[in-house]
Structure 1
Amino acid sequence: MDMLKGMNEALNYIEENLANKIDLNEVANRAFCSEYHFKRLFSLLSGITISEYIRRRRLTLSALELKDAQTKVIDVALKYGYQSPDAFSRAFQNFHGVTPSLSRSSDQNLKAYPRMAFQLTIQGGTEMNYRIVEKEAFKIVGVKNNVNMINEILSPTYEEMMAEINDTKMRELASMLNMAPYGMVHASANYSEDEEGNATFNQYIGVASTKEEINDYTTLEVPASTWAIFEIDGDWPHIENHWQRIYSEWLPTSSYELTEGPELLVSDEHKSGIWISIKKK
């Protein structure tokens, strides 16, 4: 519950400062977590980045203010953090589909993005099997992709990343697997966001190994950590649903919080495991 309270305090702070410069470190402090932790948690719970949320809220309010014929476009642009009317106009048109000037028309349809609030929803009683494991540092050897997420669309897609690993590479990776976690590891690391709401991260697909990498493979050093490991049976939609439940149901009611570090999905035939690094609150 403390996590939900902190997230909502952060949203209150954002709402009160939409017309001011918003320091995301201060936003994270209101949620009692690091900036990295807050950005990742917000993105996983809401489906969009925190920067994109702020942008949408500002463009929603700016459209309402422009309904007043006496309000100047440049004043609204500056109020909501845009350095020029042109930059504001481009962002406004991308979001609403019309220019700021045309939005004043009484018969013009505009978009509204309501403010968010996080709450704990009681779902049907579905078990979540997990265990808490202390693990020393280890490394993942595999293929690395630099991924961009723009408007919730990944580039390259996971399908494209997996297609890059042919049968030869798959056999080479399998030959290097010699320690837990056993299976193919999909690791997301170094998550960051820009002011436009676009996110980037590194996606590694490989295996846990003590061997030196071969050919053109890359190594991800995973630090020693406490891990919550959730066991899953099912296809990708089931995994995605389980991942969402971890952050929206398990984490808020547990005695743990996230720590900085990669998130792992370990696949072995028809079974999967989600690994998240945690610490005691």
Structure 2
Amino acid sequence: MRNDICQSCGMPMAAAEHFGTNGDKSPNEDFCCFCFQNGKYTDDFSFDEFVKDSLQYHDEAEKLDGRTLTLDEVSLKTTVKLPGLKRWQSHQFTHLEYYKSVNKAVDYINDNLSRVINLSDLARVTGISDFHFHRIFKAVMNESPGDYIQRLRLEKAAFKLHTTRFSLADIAEQTGYQSPQALSKAFKKRYGITPSAYRIQPDDLTVGINSPVENLFLEPEITQIASKEVFYLRVGNPYKQSDAFLKSWDKLIGIVGVSGIPDRDHEYLLLSRDISTITSPQNCRIYTCINAESAIKPKGRLGRQTIEGGLYAVFTYRGAYKYMDKVYCNIYRYWIPKSEYELRDNMSFCKFLNSPVLVTESELLTEIYIPVSKI
């Protein structure tokens, strides 16, 4: 499978004429024609020289908090991006340290959305100065810390408006707003309508169906589970790259040092903190996870977080992963509307009970955990 971007400069390669050339003049689908010709790079820059050279192509239309990015900020963003490309993968240390810091901040934000979160709090958690942390977070996440927190709070408010009977005052308190009026103002600015109008607007989470899709009748076991610690890697571009999940699993299994097959000692989980009907696909927080009883310390992209305990509806599905969207459709639009339960917050996870290496697609077993509360 060819790359969509040049593995040297990161620019898109949308057509064959953008490809570089090998020594025999054949197309090279890894590198663009500006970076790679006749089997050689068109420059002999070091990593630092390449970052410096790229500054001359700085797009002044790129903004941060309403202002044009400085050259220092562009340099930092490039330093974070390049080690993810084949040419520069040997320059991983600084890159991974940045991700380690941002992981700590994101985990703190996830756990404290209902509280006041200051930039100084996040800098303290990561051990970085306020100014430097702000720049690193923006470079890694493509959002400033303030924008990221605001977006998560409003998406959580939207979720609660469609799935609970909480008052606007309760939702404001649960999402870190000082008053219903403050939430309403921010919500209308983002979504274009008031929270009350949004609440009555039809949505995939609120419009039930009379019969399950493709006769997938699934009845859950309602069970209370304890919190569990897991190692995680965030899945990059899960809806854009067909092999995003496979790559994430391969990396996670390699780092943790397990066999890749569920056993008595390791659980293999896929965690989602968002609902795709509310959060845009590129922002969905989806993680491959393995239980964290090992003594391994989080580093680089590898993080450690808690899957919250509580009441869950646990569905057991036998069949191919490619049909999981239909399974979730049945859960959200068929089972929940007819049940005595409502969704609790917006974090669900899957537990894989066997491996596609050992069984056929039709024999794959997956437990799906949906957080619920009794109506």
TM-score, structure 1 normalization: 0.49
- Of structures 1 and 2, the one scoring higher in RCO (CA 8 A, sep 6+) is 1
**Greater strand fraction, Structure 1 or Structure 2:** 1
TM-score, structure 2 normalization: 0.38
